[in-house]
Chains A and B, each alone.
Chain A
Amino acid sequence: MGDPSSAPEPPGKGGRHPVERPSGVEDLDSAELLAKLQSITDAALSHLTLEELLDELLVRVVDALEVDTAAILLLDDTRECLVARAAKGLEEEVERGVTIPLGVGFAGRIAAQMRPIFIPDIDKAEIANPILRERGLRSLLGVPLVVEGTCIGVLHVGSLTPRTFRRDEASLLQLAADRVAIGIAHARLYEREHRIAETFQHELMPAALPALPGVELAGRYRPAARAADVGGDWYDAITLPDGTLGIAVGDVLGHGVGAAVVMGELRSALRAYALEGRRPAELASLLNRVLRTREAAATATLVYLVYDPDARSLAFASAGHVPPLAVGADGDARFLEAASGPPLGVRRTVRYAEQTVELAPGSSIVLVTDGLVERPDEGLEKGLDRLVEAVLASGGDDADAICDAVVRRLLPRGAARDDAAIVVLRVAPSSDRIALRMDAEPEAVPAARRIVSRWLREAGASEAEIFDVTVACAEACANAIEHSYGPVRAEIELGCALDADGVTIRVSDFGSWRPPRGTHRGRGLQVMRAMMDAVDVRSSERGTTVVLRRRVGEAELVT
């Protein structure tokens, strides 16, 4: 079977030769041609996103060539198939996700041979795509999309009535194809940068936040929808050696891989200084100096907080960041604006102010980056108001729920123009019982001791009783931490309850029971037994629970 389609001229280099058909019609007059050329090479097109560019070019091609359909198909990653990417008058081709094997049919041959193909009569041609016939097309002209000598796809137009294409019309189509090819090449570079920035960003974001007794912590990060806008927003939280919690939220000025790199540097420096025990204001000044020592200037906002679960006190300093929002258990909301200085990297040396506030049980601190509260045509105030509304509407009794509610309300339907991050710290409400989870790490023990001793004091225990019970509890935690030893991150559960018979403390791990080893074997158990009225160790396949009981503050105890 012969090839009824024809490309009368042999395919030239780059397939740029127009298709010549005997035609009685004269070429367009030069003014009209110029206008049409202009419409396709319009510089304004370069400001569009790829999707918009493809759409707009197809509209202009349909208009300039007076055709009924226009479609763009791109070679997939395997380079074996063409996939419909955009279309005008042939939208179902994209909707149905039409794929054409390379070398097959009209578009398949254009791509394989990298030359234009003209089909005067579709009935006499080998067509792989049924939609072209279903649509009632009569004549087709297609050209390859070429980037640096490689075909990346096909642009084709179709007419419902039999027609021919003049040389200048074919040139015009090739010109549009070149424009499309460049747009796609740029978009692919752009996507690659987006992916790199996003990967970097995700690698640097904490996979899990520390779990400390008496405080809930939750965080979310949403990358920007547009490639070049990703990067720069971050948060981090670490348990500090003294049992307090360090929390940071920051925003590096700029976007993309560059901003993600600065963010990585800041995060490392912050962790190092935080682990050294630097207080918020001092740490901010040090990070300012770190940014100033960079060869490439960088600017960032940051808020760093240290929360002491024992005193329920929060110390913080802000370097030009969105102020922390404090929300009481009663719904009273206020922004903590006193301790703010310039962004990091702006001045050579800065002394930041530090503010300390006490947090009531059941209250929350909400930290965000401006991507959550800033919108282009309004002041920051409005965004902050919206944040307060969203937090209050969430009910506020769970850090995760607050994060989700804020993201849902302030970032409707994904299309974020900027990165956005949120961290919520919530102080556990006070009660006659404590139920908490903590990391099965020695670093979590001091905080657990503080929470328990504070709770015992409130329950009316004497100082000697507090010491005894706290020691026994720490021994149980130490056992649980040793059982949880392993390559995966583990948690232990600590429960404290007060009733008429005194206090009951329950420490559970989910590891396997190992009898105490070494020279100090069993000393922890010995201490627990001496300190408490009753010690009960229950082991099962799921883990071990130690239950400790002790009468406390007999005189004062009211139940």
Chain B
Amino acid sequence: VSPLADVLTETRDGVPVARLQGQVDMSNAAAVGDQLVGSVTSAGFGLVVDLSETTYLDSAGVNLLFDLAERLETRQQVLRLVVPEGAVVRRLLRIVGVESAAGVDATLDAAVAAVVEHSRDVPDAPA
């Protein structure tokens, strides 16, 4: 990934979490997208992308979130975004209607809980 952005991955309650730090624009969106896709486990029920520390995002980054959500949906996985009150990217995400593709939570805990909740709704999903 280009030095503009870092993707840090961890697992919370069995849910993969990718923290997107820094800036995403058309110069690095593809590389960041690859990293996010790479953090999805085929066995899991979804992915949490934490945008708390995202300092810049425009439609190049928004498009990659929509693509990611679509990709997960085909595997019956969900995408949850962590966008706290006061996050720099909050207004932008509302403008583009990101909720139509991914659930938006104010905290990481809520996002992880939502993915765990989703796993219970998908009885025949990969274990």
**Contacts from A to B (Cβ < 8 Å):** 241-243, 277, 442-446, 449, 464, 467-468, 470-471, 474-475, 478, 481, 519-520, 523-524, 526-527, 530-531
Contact = CB atoms under 8 A, between A and B. Distances in A.
Interface of B: 2-4, 23, 25-28, 56-60, 62-63, 66-67, 88, 91-92, 95-96
Contacts of A524: 58-59
A471 B92 contact: yes
Given A241-B4, A471-B58, A446 B92 contact: no
A475 B67 CA distance: 18
Contacts of A520: 59, 62-63, 66
Given A470-B56, A520-B66, A527 B27 contact: no
B3 A449 contact: no
Contact of B56 (A277, A443, A449): A449
Contacts of A531: 92, 95
Q: Top 10 A-B pairs ranked by shortest CB distance?
A: A241-B2, A242-B3, A442-B27, A530-B95, A520-B63, A442-B26, A524-B59, A523-B59, A471-B58, A474-B58
Contact of B96 (A445, A468, A470, A526): A526
A445 B4 CA distance: 11
Given A478-B60, A519-B66, A527 B2 contact: no
B27 A446 contact: yes
Contacts of B57: 471
A242 B2 contact: yes
Nearest to B60: A478
A540 B17 CA distance: 47
Contacts of A464: 91
A241 B25 contact: no
Nearest to A518: B63
Contact of B27 (A277, A445, A468, A470): A445
A492 B4 CA distance: 22
A13 to B, nearest CB: 72
B25 A277 contact: no
A445 B3 contact: no
Contacts of B91: 464, 468
A445 B2 contact: no
Contacts of A474: 25-26, 58, 60
Contacts of B62: 520, 523, 527
Given A449-B25, A467-B88, A471-B92, A277 B3 contact: yes
Given A241-B3, A474-B26, A527 B92 contact: yes
Contact of A241 (B26, B27, B95): B27
Contacts of B95: 526-527, 530-531
B3 A481 contact: no
Nearest to A240: B3
Contacts of A242: 2-4
Contacts, number: 73
Contact of B59 (A243, A443, A481, A527): A527
A446 B95 CA distance: 22
Contacts of B66: 519-520
A474 B61 CA distance: 12
B27 A475 contact: no
Nearest to A516: B59
B85 to A, nearest CB: 14
Contacts of A478: 25-26, 58-60
Given A446-B23, A478-B59, A527-B96, 13 more contacts: A241-B4, A243-B4, A445-B25, A445-B26, A445-B27, A446-B25, A446-B28, A467-B56, A474-B26, A474-B58, A478-B25, A478-B26, A520-B63
A511 to B, nearest CB: 16
Given A467-B56, A467-B88, A475-B59, A446 B4 contact: yes
A523 B96 contact: yes
B89 to A, nearest CB: 8
A461 B58 CA distance: 19
A94 B58 CA distance: 70
Interface-central residue, B2, B3, B58, B66, by most chain A CB under 10 Å? B58
A443 B2 CA distance: 11
Nearest to A453: B56
B26 A481 contact: yes
Contacts of A241: 2-4, 27-28
A235 to B, nearest CB: 24
24 contacts: A241-B2, A241-B4, A241-B27, A242-B4, A277-B3, A442-B26, A442-B27, A444-B27, A445-B25, A445-B26, A445-B27, A446-B28, A464-B91, A474-B25, A478-B60, A519-B66, A520-B59, A520-B63, A520-B66, A523-B62, A523-B63, A526-B95, A526-B96, A527-B92
A295 B2 CA distance: 34
A55 to B, nearest CB: 60
B28 A527 contact: no
Nearest to B57: A471
Nearest to A474: B58
Indicate the member of A443, A446, A519, A530 with the most B CB atoms within 10 Å. A446
Contacts of A445: 25-27
Nearest to B94: A530
Contacts of A526: 59, 95-96
Nearest to B62: A523
A376 B100 CA distance: 74
B55 to A, nearest CB: 9
Contacts of B67: 519
Contacts of B2: 241-242
A238 to B, nearest CB: 14
A402 B44 CA distance: 61
Contacts of A470: 56
Nearest to B88: A467
Contacts of B25: 442, 445-446, 449, 474, 478
Contacts of B56: 449, 467, 470-471
Contacts of A467: 56, 88, 92
A204 B23 CA distance: 34
Nearest to A477: B26
A530 B63 CA distance: 16
Most buried by A among B4, B25, B27: B27
Contacts of A449: 23, 25, 56
